[in-house]
Structure formats: C-alpha cells, structure tokens
Amino acid sequence: MFNGMVLDNIDIGPGRLRVRHGGSGPPLLLLHGHPRTHMTWGYVADLLSPHFTVVCPDLRGFGKSFQPLDTDDSRHSSKRAKALDCVKLMRMLGHQRFGVAGHDRGSYVAFRLAMDYPELVTKLAVIDSIPIVEHLERLDWRFARDWYHWFFFAQRHKPEQAINADPDAWYDGIKSELMNREAYEDLLAAIHDPAVVHGMVEDYRAGLTVDRDDELRDRAEGRRVVCPLLCLWSTYDDLERLLGDPMEIWKNWATEVSGHRIASGHHVAEENPTDLARSLHRFFSDC
C-alpha cells in the first residue's frame, strides 16, 4: 500500500499531522472516518496515485496526529478547525487548489472545507454521509437504535471509560481480513490508545455542538457548496435505508450534485477499493 508515497509528520502550527503523500497529477486530499486513520486509504491511494498527487493525513485527534486542547464546547475538535488544518497542510505541500474526498466523519471535514474555502476546493466527494443537521432532523426510533453512539459519545467521560475497558469488544466489527496487515495494526494501536479514543469521541461531541451550529448558520445565510459535489454511498450500509436518497439530501446544500451507490459495507475504501477508486478517478479527472 501507498507505493512510492512519503510518510511525514508535518507541523501545521497547533501540532503535527501524520500524512502520507505522493503520486503524479492534480492534488487530491483523502480524509478518513471513525475510527480509522489515513491507512484506510492504502489500496485506493495505490490506484489513484498514477493519476493524482494523493494526500492522506490523520485528522487531528485521530491516529498519530496531534491531540487538540479540550474545551467545554469541543471547538478544537470541530470540523472547521480540522478543515483549517487541511488548508495549512496542503499549502505546506505546495498545493494552492485541490480536490477533496471524505468518508464518514472525514466527509464533514471535506464539506466544511468546501463551504469555508470555495476558492481552494475544486471538487468535493462525500462518502456515506449527509450533513449533521439533516441526520438530526430526520431522527426517528430506528436512527436512535442503530446510531445511538452519536448520542452516547456526546456524554462526558462515560464513552471513553466504556471503550477503554475493552477496545476490541467495542470495535468488534473490524474486519481484519479486508485490511493490509500494517493498516490493521495501525487501527489497533489507535483504538488501544486512550488519548486517541478521547480525540475520536471529541469529534462526535463537536458534531452535536459547534458543527451543528455552523451548519444551521450556513443554511440560515443561504450558503451552499459551489463546486461540483459527488455523493457516494454503500449499498450494504444503512444510510439510505434510514434516511432516504443521500443525493437528494445533498441537493439542499450544493449547486451541482451527482452520485451513485457502491456495492460495499460501510468501510468502502477497504471493502471495495477498486470501484471507489474508479468513481473518484472519473469525478476528479478534470480538476
């Protein structure tokens, strides 16, 4: 995985981001979800790097990147703070304008990048997600049952205590057979590190506080994503079943939306990297 790419730890000001980067062509930033690190993109990066200069960081609070300061409103774990990290990182790597794709929690950072920095983001791909406020406004008993972790993680201390008591049991859905050995060991190291567990949970706390507020403000002010947006979702995940057609929902937030399903479970970069890379290549090829 990451054939020919460089592994760096780059100081962006508030801390260091672990980042894998390399390839040839227009810059493409790939942002991971929970509880993954940049290593989730390994197979996809190998397929894309002949065509793009691929940049895969660990987001702040995740993996081996820095842990932000704690505050009562979790603002240092906000998607706005993480988006600014990405802008600094890309500039330090020499990329002034770039495409960005995010999966799961990483899609919210990608979304915030496109909203806050329209002059920098050429195209946006969001994978297995809709905006946070759209989730909350469609909430029903099925969402509360199946996505209860959103609200459990919003509590103080108890989520970390539960996860750290037995990380392997909490994350029992990890499918090691779908992952490169190095990626699997990197994921295990992350979920067994209490500091990283706290950082990952803080990402959810920010989601229900400052991130939600930012999205509500965007909507009230009529702000939309102005670059082309690609919405991808996994057929064997439950996003569409619980919330409806994700592409139709994203049309409320962007001026140009396309999208389709991919045959996969939730962790599509590991479960179906070929189809995911093909979709991303097609979408970003004329950046």
Strands 121-127 and 53-57: unpaired
- Angle between helix 194-206 and 158-165 (nearest 10): 140
Residue closest to 47 by CA, chosen among 284, 287, 280, 283: 280
- Give the Cα separation of 268 and 177 in Å (integer): 14
Phi, then psi, of 71 in degrees rounded to 5: -140, 165
Contact indicator for 113, 100 with CB cutoff of 8 Å: yes
**Where is 10: in which H helix or E strand?**
strand 6-11
Question: Among all residues, which ones are annotated catalytic?
Answer: 104, 266
Contact indicator for 53, 127 with CB cutoff of 8 Å: no
- Give the Cα separation of 12 and 84 in Å (integer): 10
Please name the residues in contact with 250: beta carbons below 8 A apart, sequence gap of 6 or more. Answer: 126, 130, 131, 229, 231, 257, 259
Contact indicator for 280, 48 with CB cutoff of 8 Å: yes
**Where is 281: in which H helix or E strand?**
helix 273-284
What single string gives the DSSP state of each residue in 201-269?
HHHHHHIIIIIHHHHHHHHHTT--B-S-EEEEEETTSSHHHHH--HHHHHTTTBSSEEEEEESS-S-HH
- Give the Cα separation of 180 and 113 in Å (integer): 29
